[in-house]
Amino acid sequence: MTIPDSSGYDYMMENGSIELPCKPEEERRIVQDLNSKAESNLREGYLYYVISNRWFVGWQRYTGQLEGSYPFEDHSVGSQSLIPTITEDRPGVIDNSDIIDGEYNKDDDPQLCRNLEEGRDYVIVPQEVWEKLLKWYKGGPALPRKMISVGDQQKQFSVEVFPLCLRLVDSRDQSEVAIRLSKKASLHDLYLKVCRLKGLDPEKARIWDYFNKQKHTILISSSQTLEESNLQMDQNILLELPIDGFGMDSTGNGLALVPVEPIRSSFSIAGGPTMSNGYSTGYTSSIHQRSTSTSSYGDMEDGNDGSKPITRGDKGGLAGLQNLGNTCFMNSALQCLVHTPHLAEYFLQDYSDEINRQNPLGMHGELALAFGELLRKLWSSGRTPVAPRAFKGKLARFAPQFSGYNQHDSQELLAFLLDGLHEDLNRVKQKPYIETRDSDCQPDEEVADEFWRNHKARNDSVIVDVCQGQYKSTLVCPACEKISITFDPFMYLSLPLPSTATRSMTITVFYGDGSGLPMPFTVTVLKQGCCKDLIQALSVASCLRSDEYLLLAEVYEHRVYRYLENPSEHLATIKDDEHIVAYRLPKKEVNLTRLEICHRYQEVERKLFLTPLVTILEDPRSGADIDLAVNRMLSPLKRKAFFTSTIENGRENGSPSNGTEEQMNICSSTQLGPAIQSIDDIEPDGMSSGELSFRLCITDDKGYGCKPILKDSPIKPGRIVKVMLDWSDKEHELYDASYLKDLPEVHKSGVLAKKTKQEAISLFSCLDAFLKEEPLGPDDMWYCPRCKEHRQASKKLDLWRLPDVLVFHLKRFSYSRWLKNKLDTFVNFPIHNLDLNKYVKSKDASEGSHVYELYAISNHYGGLGGGHYSAYCKLIDDNKWYHFDDAHVSPVGESEVKTSAAYVLFYRRVKPTSGGNVGEPSEVHKVS
């Protein structure tokens, strides 16, 4: 199928292939109504359509739907070609060719490229919206997708953009063909599709789970879904045709098909008793999946014999985990947990009595059982890699956010997994209700112990025993100085990287009264700050007067793309490659009109250029008022040869030749540029003859629909008036436009940035930043019980009780609507003898040692989207480090595990020796 190479409405009209179009605002209203109707009636099975974001953004701009937001969040270098030019042209036919994988014909089923991201590369619209857009614009091809329900406990609706692709291997000729079905399709549906494709009788066909081209399980035609059968994207399934029930296939080869009953064994994954059919009572196994004679289903994926007891003495733990499709994040997190000595000892023993199937906050024990089974395989399979398909299936059921085959965050998975294991293994079957109360000036030791007892009364598991600590949280009200102290549990500590706490930003400041030339200022602000902080820093740098204020704006494609008028808006919404300006405007109580002036070449195409100017007008009534304001704003740009003005105090005001010198001494200068105080002071050329001095057009709020302005043209009162200034040869002779060109970026990457990137900081400085007192954010206000109001209280954290296993999460990633960033700062963390005694505020000697030793690291290499996870883990028994990179496991020296890729650090408490010393004699890392 070939998409016509046309981008305009003319092509469609000439070919008579489209009805007369609606107005842009009418199209927008119709689509918005259809979207709202679909969102209010979400149903499983409803049809949605995938549309190229490149085309859809053009339609959004045409209908005015992109006000105040980007078409997508990540303007990466590779995506620059996708940024459409702002235009009022009607988009051409719908063209989805840029998101389709490879060549396709009209009769083919086109497939999407696998590396696409929603919102960046494509959008999803309901069937009714697609049909309406198709009626208006034609094109295609159509890419229908169904709505499915994902998750077990917390069901969510999701459009299955990438259906499950299975590679069917025909045993008769070893040919392969791709089969695509929803993961919610049944095995019966799979049989029907395969047999229709091959022209076979479903009663005579046998389909095997042929993962890694090894027979694992016969897939019996049933209502069981492909997802429940643990089938993975792009894996193989095998088609065989037995003759006379069990015997020879059509090629004469003997089949390994045997009576479908698994081997009976006294072993179960939880160490508990087994049922007569060989399955453990502690494991939910499907009656529709049957195993071969080589091993039971639970151990089929790695060829491991799970019938023998597993002990740490077998020197296991060197098995890798196969990547099932962007699952390196999961493999990295799992290897760190599997090599946690306390957890390994626990799950290698009989833990069946502690499975809590009634906990409404848990996963009916299934997550703990799946993790325990996987851990046993890894510790008993020698060096044979394990495919964690069953575990991934459980994970997708209980945590739909980790379903599919997108890359995720290993720390987020760890947080979910630790919490899920705790709830599945919680020894408390009926949680008592306990009301939390304030400290009321009691001794910290008593309050902390009470909080911990209350916590243990509701939460008691091996995860709490091993991984949970307690910190002291102190809140102080800024108004009444009320102090609130609580002692809360933690599972891990998320540490900021202090070297990146500040940010250098370059902003160009424009005078809104035409009193000076624009000047760029570079200021340093808190990276997690807000626009108020940036404005304050700019005010000091530019010597802002008390009767002025700064209006921040982003300039994009020579237009004001958005105003940053909310002082609480986070600076993370401003990216380094954006162009931000600040307009100095007067503070006045009366209602003012903001005049926005954009510049165009006076040519046929009339392209925009230069930076927009913004000024304030009081009650503009006619085109003459606008013309005077434009003259005033351009006056600092007048070339010296044409600058005609009065001489005041023995010098020429506003001359560009000395304007630069004045800007360099801006804080000490008393005269800021030309002495133009009001529009009455200006007598522009041409005004006396009844004509305007400039070619001006007024536009609508979106910058479209230009209408020429005459001297007596009435100006409608409003908050913002937008005009276009057409530059002719006359304007280029009179004014130096170079001052309005080439705005600097907010932050320019270069040598300085590379040096900062490689800066090394210590783990202790990260911990200090985490424990530093700081005010709560405006979105996280605290309700003061004394003031009876929400206050922006100051908060201070202190470590009170440390667990045996201490996990540090280094906050390398920052996300917001506008910014995604990864920090590659090298953090120097100790491997041995991490001494935290100075940080622990509790004086209880029974807490034991506060010295720790590193045993595992979850690493992240690369940037956002294209990164890779791996793990360094230490086998405690042989005191050696290994690199676990998915299925590949290799030894690594201890000195090699400290890299800038370290993301999550796992430490275990070092037990004091009989002589009172901690661990073996070595250099102890202490805080100065």
Distance CA 613, CA 558 (A): 10
pLDDT at 315: 61
Among 428, 268, 276, 420, CA closest to 351? 268
**CA dihedral sign, ordered 612, 617, 623, 628:** negative
DSSP annotation of 90 reads P
For residue range 660-671, list pLDDT tens digits in order.
333 434 454 333
Q: Report whether 878 contacts 315 (CB < 8 A).
A: yes
- How many Cβ atoms are within 10 Å of 413's Cβ, its own excluded? 23
DSSP-derived pairing of the beta strands 593-601 and 720-727: parallel
Alpha helices in 717-834 (DSSP H): 729-734, 751-757, 763-771
Beta strands in 649-765 (DSSP E): 651-652, 695-699, 707-708, 720-727, 760-762
Give me the mean pLDDT over the 830-847 stretch: 86
pLDDT at 604: 58
Burial per residue of 630-655, b for 16 or more beta-carbon CB atoms within 10 angstroms, e otherwise:
bbbbbbbbbeeeebeeeeeeeeebbb
The predicted model scores a pTM of 0.62
Distance CA 166, CA 178 (A): 6
Distance CA 110, CA 93 (A): 18
For residue range 868-925, list pLDDT tens digits in order.
999 999 998 888 999 999 999 999 999 999 999 999 999 999 987 655 554 543 333 4
**Cα 673–Cα 675–Cα 678 angle in degrees, nearest 5:** 120
Instruction: Describe the chain by its helix, strand, coil percentages, rounded to 5.
Output: 25, 25, 45
- Percentage of the chain modeled with pLDDT above 90: 35
**CA dihedral sign, ordered 649, 651, 654, 659:** negative
Tell me the pLDDT of the chain averaged across its residues.
Answer: 78
Task: Return the bridge partners of 707, or none.
Answer: 698
pLDDT higher at 446 or 441: 446
User: Which is catalytic among the residues 328, 336, 531, 766?
Assistant: 328
pLDDT higher at 256 or 374: 374
Q: Residue 763 is which amino acid?
A: L
Give me the mean pLDDT over the 103-113 stretch: 66
**CA dihedral sign, ordered 536, 538, 542, 546:** negative
Read off the pLDDT band of 683 (50, 70, 90).
Answer: very low
Among 611, 619, 595, CA closest to 513? 595
pLDDT at 900: 92
Provide the token pair at 509. Answer: 């400041």
pLDDT at 607: 85
- The DSSP-derived string for 514-561 is S-S--EEEEEEEETT-BHHHHHHHHHHHTT--TTEEEEEEEEETTEEE
Question: Helix, strand or coil for residue 287?
Answer: coil
Q: Report whether 745 contacts 576 (CB < 8 A).
A: yes
**Cα 296–Cα 302–Cα 304 angle in degrees, nearest 5:** 55
- How many Cβ atoms are within 10 Å of 107's Cβ, its own excluded? 6
Whether 868 sits among the annotated catalytic residues: the reply is yes
Residue whose tokens read 């000395």: 658
Distance CA 373, CA 369 (A): 6
Burial of 80 (0-12, 13-18, 19+ CB in 10 A): exposed
For residue range 573-609, list pLDDT tens digits in order.
898 889 999 999 998 767 788 999 999 887 656 788 8
User: Which is catalytic among the residues 188, 288, 832, 868?
Assistant: 868
For residue range 785-828, list pLDDT tens digits in order.
888 888 888 889 999 999 999 999 999 887 654 446 778 889 99
872 Cβ partners below 8 Å, 6+ apart?
Answer: 856, 857, 859, 881, 882, 883, 884, 892, 897
Give me the mean pLDDT over the 843-851 stretch: 76
Task: Return the bridge partners of 789, or none.
Answer: 784
